[in-house]
């Protein structure tokens, strides 16, 4: 089967940072689905792994997490899907990825593809949707009010992949006032279209802008990027006993200032459940099916912002460079081989 892989971590501009290869087609066992890949999208985790994690000596690593495709074969323990089903999912970090014609993925982290979307539009959604859903409902517990706090959610980095879907999920499934940050006219328009009630500029101090809205201190703050730049503002803006969640990897992160407000801090990593095989791993199957229902009901839209081309090394290098630029809105998708 055709695939795109890398041998050594390199800058994306390097000729061999990603290469086209031919690999054996894997065989479905246990709870695995063998999925024929129709479309993939690129996430910051693809960039981080490619740039920093070396495969074992003389081995290739196939990247790719988000995918949409068709089930071609199933393992003997599969009960949720059958060959021919259209699916979408985000895979796991410790198995070969979706930048290939075929991929094995555990059925318990796979959802039914939205019927109203084509494969490209569907491929933009899984990783960010699971991340946002888990962050909001499993970590921050946004349906459990913070006493005395404004029933509001501040999303830092609202125009990125996770922010773009978090805005929509919060609007579709909660009554919270959603405040999103964006620094450019283009991205500010984007987050408004996705449903943010208020938009503020994260290139300027955040806390005074939140205070100026006149709605009170938000009970929930969710940071998707550049957390280390905004910690002081986050602590100032958050309500006493509020809840703060983050998904990025700040070089430094001082948690002590949160103590004065008895605030809780929550890290979200959507790979944790499948990586450790937690007893509730099937929750990701349920989350994706819920997202699929919301899409088909017209309550959530795809966050696809650009289709880069077919799945090959040259186009994936373009998509990685786009993500590395830090200026993307939504998601970059590749479709077909």
Radius of gyration of the chain from its Cα atoms, rounded to whole angstroms: 20
Give the tens place of pLDDT for each residue, 42-93.
Answer: 999 999 999 999 998 889 999 999 999 999 999 999 999 999 999 999 999 9
Residue 326 has pLDDT above 90, yes or no: no
In the block, tokens 């290869």 appear at 21
307 pLDDT band, cuts 50/70/90, is: very high
* Average pLDDT value for the chain: 96
Give the tens place of pLDDT for each residue, 196-206.
Answer: 999 999 999 99
In the block, tokens 């019927």 appear at 115
The three-state DSSP-derived secondary structure of the chain is CEEEEECCCCCCCCCCCCEEEECCCCCCCCCEEEEEEEEEEECHHHHHHHHHCCCCCCCCEECCCCEEEEEEEECCCCCCCCCCCEEEECCCCCCCCCCECEEEEEHHHEEECCCCCCHHHHHCCHHHHHHHHHHHHHHCCCCCCCCCCEEEEEEECCCCHHHHHHHHHHHHHCCCEEEEECCCHHHHHHHHHHCCCEEECCCCCHHHHHHHCCCCCEEEEEECCCHHHHHHHHHHHCCCCCEEEECCCCCCCCCHHHHHHCCEEEECCCCHHHHHCCCCCCHHHHHHHHHHHHHHCCCCCCCEEEEEECCCHHHHHHHHHHHHCCCCCCEEEEECC
Q: Which residue has the higher pLDDT, 123 or 328?
A: 123
The predicted structure's pLDDT at residue 328: 83
Residue 327 has pLDDT above 90, yes or no: no
């Amino acid at each position: 089967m055709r695939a795109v892989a890398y041998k050594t971590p390199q800058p994306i501009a390097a000729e061999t940072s990603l290469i086209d290869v031919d690999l054996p087609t894997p065989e479905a066992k246990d709870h695995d689905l063998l999925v024929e890949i129709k479309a993939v999208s690129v996430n910051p985790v693809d960039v981080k792994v490619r740039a920093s994690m070396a495969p074992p000596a003389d081995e290739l690593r196939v990247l790719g997490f988000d995918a949409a495709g068709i089930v071609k074969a199933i393992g003997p323990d599969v009960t949720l899907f059958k060959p021919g089903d259209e699916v979408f999912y985000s895979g796991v970090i410790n198995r070969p990825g979706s930048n290939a014609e075929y991929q094995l993925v555990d059925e318990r982290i796979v959802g039914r593809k939205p019927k109203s979307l084509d494969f490209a539009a569907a491929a933009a959604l899984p990783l960010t949707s699971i991340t946002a859903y888990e962050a909001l409902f499993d970590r921050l517990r946004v349906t459990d009010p913070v006493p005395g706090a404004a029933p509001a959610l501040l999303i830092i980095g609202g125009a990125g992949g996770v922010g773009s879907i978090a805005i929509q999920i919060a609007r579709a499934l909660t009554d919270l006032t959603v405040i999103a940050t964006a620094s450019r006219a283009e991205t500010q328009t984007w987050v408004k279209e996705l449903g943010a009630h208020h938009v503020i500029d994260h290139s300027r101090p955040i806390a005074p802008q939140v205070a100026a809205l006149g709605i009170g201190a938000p009970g929930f703050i969710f940071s998707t990027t550049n957390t280390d730049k905004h910690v002081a503002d986050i602590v100032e803006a958050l309500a006493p006993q509020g809840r703060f969640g983050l998904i990025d990897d700040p070089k430094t992160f001082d948690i002590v200032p949160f103590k004065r407000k008895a605030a809780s801090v929550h890290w979200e990593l959507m790979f944790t459940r499948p990586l450790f095989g937690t007893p509730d791993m099937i929750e990701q199957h349920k989350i994706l099916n819920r997202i699929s229902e919301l899409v088909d009901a017209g309550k959530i839209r795809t966050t696809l912002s650009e289709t880069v081309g077919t799945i090959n090394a040259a186009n994936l290098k373009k998509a990685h460079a786009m993500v590395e630029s830090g200026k993307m809105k939504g998601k970059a998708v590749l479709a077909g081989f």
